[in-house]
Amino acid sequence: MANEEAEKKKNTSSSEAKQPLKTAKKKTLGWMEWLRGWFYLVYEMLFQRILASHLQNPMPLPPINDVTCIVTGSTSGIGREIARQLAEAGAHVVMAVRSTNRAQELIRKWQEEWSGKGLPLNIEVMELDLLSLDSVARFAEAWNARMAPVHVLINNAGIFSIGEPQKFSKDGYEEHMQVNHLAPAMLSILLLPSLIRGSPSRIVNVNSTMHYVGFVDPEDMNVVSGKRKYTSVVGYGGSKLAQIMFSSILHKRLPAESGISVVCNTPGIVLTNVARDLPQFLQVGYRLIPYFIFNAEEGSRSTLFAATDPQISEYCEMLKADDWPVCAYISHDCRPTNASEEAHNIETSYKVWEKTLELVGLPSDAVERLIEGEEIKCRYGNSQE
């Protein structure tokens, strides 16, 4: 694994040295990068099942009886599978969701199905609405007040409103950018005190191969300047790329002694609730090619792997020591892979980091202060300045 990453770094070092000069005037992806991104997407859809054929389904998990996992968006799709399988493996699972009633119904169902197989599942529900940064801040405040550890934070919840017009949250941010990047980034920072208590711990960001066709302008994260035409693909791809860029800087900012690993992963092309936003004729097509597309259980495997495999923390530590520009990225086949060329743009990644903290109302030195055990002020939630 180390040799593989070293070789990748060697191959890209010369281009990265020229990156700041090249990207200073860059306004969007080059057409070669764009075509390469779509090639990766098509390749993943056609061959993901073959590439992941070595994996068991469901994914066997190690004993995790003393592990607390927070899973966002866990009432549907792969999030539901992630929460259920972690709970059945013995973890204390916190379902962080908008619809608490729906989550409670799921828990009742799971407990009935699990009856007689072992101890009752240890699952609870907490309200979290990623379209409200106040809700994110309140969730973090409520959890941190328990003085309880978090061993794994899984930022799973996301949206892809295919073909929909541009929409903004009540906080004023483009919805894809807020739900897929800004809110999870804010949650990750605010939960650092609890993640430190749970050390060694992990932040797992469920990403997407769509980041290969994404582009981020740190000064126009809402895509409103007119420099680029907004489409749902622009919104979604950009949000997923921003997530990797932010995660990469967070990975660098967290000292090794904190014991916190940062991982992004792609679940593959999965038939989940994202399909409900597709045009009707595409939904039909989605269901006509079940061989190529993962179901939710199959799509949960890379996230479960990133959350539980004992070698992940060693891999992240190795990347930190090598000063690799991108955080750990796990493919749908549960193998380390490389993020897009644009994700390696360290200059833009730092700008995305700074802009993200500004937009979610956190100080630029939030990580350093929280690592030192200090309190910070946030523009949102109950602890507003």
Q: Would you please indicate which residues are annotated as catalytic (active-site) residues?
A: 236
How, if at all, do strands 92-97 and 201-206 pair? unpaired
What 3-state DSSP class applies to 155? strand
Break the chain down into helix, strand, coil percent, rounded to 5. 50, 10, 40
12 burial type by CB count under 10 A (0-12 exposed, 13-18 middle, 19+ buried): middle
Element (H, E) at 72: strand 68-72
**Cα 323 to Cα 333: distance, rounded to the nearest angstrom:** 25
Contacts of 200 (CB under 8 A, 6+ apart): 151, 259, 260, 261, 313
* DSSP symbols for 201-254: EEEEEE--GGGGG----TT-TTS-SSSS---HHHHHHHHHHHHHHHHHHHHHHS
